[in-house]
Structure 1
Amino acid sequence: MDTKASSSIDNQAVIYSRRNLLSGFLFGLGLVAFIDEMVFHQLLHWHHFYDLSTTSAGLVSDGIFHAFSWLATVGSLFMVADLRRRGAWWLKRWVGGLLAGGGLFNLYDGLIQHKVMGIHQIRYGVDLLLYDLTWNISAAVLLIAGLILIFQTNKTIRRKGVS
């Protein structure tokens, strides 16, 4: 690809920088929610999305949670398809959004849903400290990695003078 075409693609990506970020964020959020629901809810049976009621209510809450994760993931991929069609998909910014979205979701889940609201725990009948530390530290690492990529791409946006 020649330099002029590459520069044109970069400008398009910068113009659509917010859409790249949002698409990545939704994909990360949806992907992490989908993995959480599939692994911890369905395969391991460690908890449901909402454990403060009956098993039936927990299963219904899992279904709603699964639908949410699926919609976020599929919706984000439609956004990627549009960005690619426009020649405006910015992989680095998108991955930053993906990592930030996944990390923020897991941190919210681990701190707010598990601890503040108490609607479920990672697992029951065990000492939770190791589970909580692993969950929340890995979430924070994902979030920080995503924010680093987002801040790096923000420099490119400022350098090109596009908001």
Structure 2
Amino acid sequence: MAAGKQHQSNRSLYSARNLWSGFLFGLGMVAFFDETVFHQLLRWHHFYDRSTTDIGLISDGLFHAFSWFATIGGLFMFADLRRRQGLWLKRWWGGVLLGGGIFQLYDGIIQHKLMRIHQIRYVENVVVYDIIWNVSALAMIAVGAFLLYKTGKRK
């Protein structure tokens, strides 16, 4: 089989793996960005703010570990896809944006509003932060879903 046809065949064979590799990587990277920027650098909140600062720092550490396990898992799958010549970058990026967006939307709605384990920032007009957080999550989900739709049409 010619190299181009083999590559196209591998794309179809590893379509789901491209999606999940990107999804894990995107989820992990957005979680890592959240933890690094908002928890550590800006010190706006901890992962769990309903207890002492020590518990908040421990929860941040566990959250940080989770984000890196997801990121590294996604990268191991990415490397395996490259090795098998089954990498489909447009589909992978769709998974990255979908995973990152879903994590961010889950964080913004479930953790911030329903569970109330922390807020984005403890200010009087937090709704501005909530809108920016959740609209950017929806934008990532929309672009990711569009890329996945475009790559799902090929056989």
- Pick the TM interval, shorter chain: over 0.9
1:42-61 Cα distance to aligned partner (Å, 9 max, x none) = 00000000101111110000
- Which residue number corresponds to residue 94 of structure 2? 96
1:121-160 correspondence to structure 2 within 5 Å: 121-156=119-154, 160=155
Q: Does 1:64 align with 2:68?
A: no
Structural mapping, 1:5-154, within 5 Å: 5-154=3-152
Counting matched residue pairs gives 155
Identity rate of aligned residues, in percent? 61
Cα distance in 2, alignment partners of residues 47 and 10 from structure 1: 46
In the TM superposition, residue 129 of structure 1 has moved relative to its aligned partner by 1.2
Q: Which runs of 5+ in 1 are unaligned?
A: none
Q: 2-side partners of 1:10 and 1:116: how far apart?
A: 44
Partners in 2 of 1:152 and 1:5 — Cα distance? 23
1:125 CA displacement: 2.6
Tell me the C-alpha RMSD between the 2 structures: 1.1
Alpha-carbon distance in structure 2 between the residues aligned to 1:51 and 1:37: 13
Distance in 1, Cα, partners of 2:124 & 2:137? 21
Q: Distance in 2 between matches of 1:124 and 1:31?
A: 24
Over 2 Å off, 4+ runs: none
Deviations 1:69-118 (A, max 9, x none): 00110111111111100000110100000000000000000011000100
How many angstroms apart in 2 are the aligned matches of 1:126 and 1:99?
31
Deviations 1:122-160 (A, max 9, x none): 00133111100000000000001000111111111xxx2
User: In structure 1, how many angstroms separate the alpha carbons of the residues matched to 2:52 and 2:8?
Assistant: 52
Gaps of 5+ in 2: none
Whichever residue aligns with residue 56 of structure 1, its letter is D
Amino acid at match of 1:143: I
d(CA) in 2 for partners of 1:98, 1:125: 31
1:9 and 1:151 mapped to 2: Cα distance? Answer: 20
Equivalent position amino acid for 2:152 in 1: N
